[in-house]
């Protein structure tokens, strides 16, 4: 009996191909895909597999169904390459789809082929896994009506994402800004997936892009230096601008809240210089044609501006960024960090713009129209915390600037 069983095992091994012998697990897409770094002519898609792969994206404009694989046609293909080498042999897949049309909707699906063996002169491939068909829409400066949301300070409580989605579906927003301290510190990547990312993919991030803004807690932990590689921006920076509809968004990174020399940082941070670097960029950005011609100007970063010198980070940005923003005809600055809601109206304090500091378990729901920005702040209990409107600013003469 043992001889028969042993013979059957030998026969089975002989029948298996080399690829089947090398394969350890069924190939799966484990996380994602999700959308980041939206633009008028591009979109970045990120996803993860359980085995090392080479990957690509199949996509087509949604109205042209005959070119998408569901109907047996030939889609466009996007791959990622660097210095002549196509990205491969990795479980994290980041591909930017380029040369798209402004304001167009595209269907897409991700695909990954397992690499079983990666030798210098031979590569053995395994099976291919293909994701579901989803869609996205590129940004459009000509858009007249749209909405965006801002969430802050999840601190790895993914249930908040699901609870907010019950109040109002998150996939209705053109953009969602995740404004810092979404994670409490950066360790292994499972914290990212379990802390908010899987829930975001489930509710909106497959089809609506999010903008991940680093908070002070995301600067902490052994893997903090790699966190933004999960949410890459094509500029390679944590600060940049986005134009959608008549809104010029400015995204900035406020860094840590304590002095660089604080013992908890062990001599490994340099945020004072980083905030100065951003101040120089901001000074130029608010002079740009796109900024000046925008109907609305919204600035988003994690820590609020402060004149309290005992809180070093907020005080430093107040000193370095505050004067620039004060002269720039900003409509709204959105922050988090405090875990308590607060709104200050334009010219109601030392700043010439309105400010919102979001609390935990809240979302800033914003409707954009030709006439105004309409804001509603809602919490996970479905309560309306606050609502207000900002009228469009129309400069009438050059001296207004």
pLDDT, tens digit, 9 for 90 and up, residues 316-366: 999 999 999 999 999 999 999 999 999 999 878 789 999 999 999 999 999
**Is the confidence at residue 312, as pLDDT, over 90?**
yes
As a whole number of angstroms, the distance between CA 269 and CA 214 comes to 15
What is the per-residue pLDDT for 396?
47
**Is the confidence at residue 72, as pLDDT, over 60?**
no
Q: Where do the domains of the chain lie?
A: 18-137, 146-400
**Is the confidence at residue 64, as pLDDT, over 80?**
no
What is the per-residue pLDDT for 380?
97
42 backbone dihedrals φ, ψ, rounded to 5°? -160, 160
Give domain 18-137's CATH architecture.
Answer: Sandwich (2.60)
Q: Are 216 and 337 in contact (CB under 8 A)?
A: yes
315 backbone dihedrals φ, ψ, rounded to 5°? -65, -40
| Each residue's pLDDT tens digit, 248-285 | 999 999 999 999 999 999 999 999 999 999 999 999 99
As a whole number of angstroms, the distance between CA 396 and CA 322 comes to 25
As a whole number of angstroms, the distance between CA 384 and CA 366 comes to 13
Going by DSSP bridges, is the β-strand pair 296-300/240-244 parallel, antiparallel, or unpaired? Answer: unpaired
- Determine how many CB atoms are found less than 10 A away from the CB of residue 285: 20
- What does the angle CA 276 – CA 278 – CA 282 come to, to the nearest 5 degrees? 120
What is the per-residue pLDDT for 63?
73
Q: Which two tokens stand for residue 2?
A: 């043992």
Mean pLDDT of the chain: 92
Model's pTM, two decimal places?
0.92
**Is the confidence at residue 172, as pLDDT, over 60?**
yes
Give domain 146-400's CATH architecture.
Answer: 4-Layer Sandwich (3.60)
* Band of pLDDT at residue 87, cut at 50, 70 and 90: very high
Average pLDDT over residues 88-106: 97
Neighbouring C-alpha atoms within 13 Å toward the C-beta of 54: 16
Ramachandran bin of 72, using left for φ above 0, alpha for ψ from -120 to 50, beta for the remaining angles: left
What is the per-residue pLDDT for 389?
97
| Each residue's pLDDT tens digit, 392-401 | 976 644 556 6
């Amino acid at each position: 009996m043992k001889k028969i069983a042993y013979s059957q095992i030998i026969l089975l091994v002989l029948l298996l191909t080399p690829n089947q012998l090398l394969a350890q697990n069924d190939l799966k897409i484990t996380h994602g895909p999700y959308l980041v770094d939206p633009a008028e002519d591009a979109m970045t898609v990120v996803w993860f597999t359980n085995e090392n792969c080479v990957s690509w994206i199949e996509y087509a404009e949604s109205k042209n169904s005959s070119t998408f694989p569901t109907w047996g046609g030939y889609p466009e293909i996007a791959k990622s390459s660097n210095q002549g080498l196509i990205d491969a042999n990795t479980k994290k897949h980041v591909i930017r789809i380029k040369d798209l049309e402004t304001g167009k909707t595209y269907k897409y699906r991700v695909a990954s082929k397992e690499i079983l063996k990666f030798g210098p002169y031979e590569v053995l491939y395994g099976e291919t896994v293909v994701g579901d068909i989803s869609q996205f829409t590129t940004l459009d400066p000509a858009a007249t009506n749209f909405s965006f949301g801002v969430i802050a300070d999840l601190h790895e409580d993914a249930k908040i994402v699901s609870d907010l989605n019950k109040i109002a579906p998150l996939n209705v927003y053109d953009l969602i800004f995740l404004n810092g301290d979404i994670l409490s510190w950066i360790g292994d990547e499972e914290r990212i997936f379990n802390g908010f990312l899987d829930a975001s993919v489930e509710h909106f991030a497959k089809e609506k892009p999010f903008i991940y803004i680093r908070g002070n807690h995301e600067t902490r932990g052994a893997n903090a230096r790699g966190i933004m590689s999960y949410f890459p921006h094509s500029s390679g920076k944590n600060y940049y601008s986005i134009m959608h509809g008549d809104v010029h968004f400015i995204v900035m990174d406020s860094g840590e809240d304590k002095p660089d020399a604080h013992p908890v940082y062990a001599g490994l941070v340099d945020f004072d210089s980083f905030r100065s670097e951003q101040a120089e960029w901001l000074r130029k950005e608010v002079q740009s044609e796109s900024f000046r011609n925008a109907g609305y100007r919204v600035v988003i970063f994690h820590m609020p501006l402060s004149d309290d010198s005992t809180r070093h980070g907020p005080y430093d940005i107040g000193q370095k960024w505050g004067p620039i923003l004060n002269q720039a005809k900003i409509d709204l600055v959105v922050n988090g960090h405090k875990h308590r809601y607060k709104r200050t109206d334009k010219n109601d304090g030392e700043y010439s713009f309105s400010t919102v500091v979001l609390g935990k378990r809240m979302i800033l729901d914003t409707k954009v129209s030709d006439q105004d920005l309409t804001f509603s702040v809602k919490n996970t209990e479905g309560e309306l915390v606050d609502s207000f409107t900002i009228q469009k600013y129309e400069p009438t003469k050059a001296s207004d600037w």
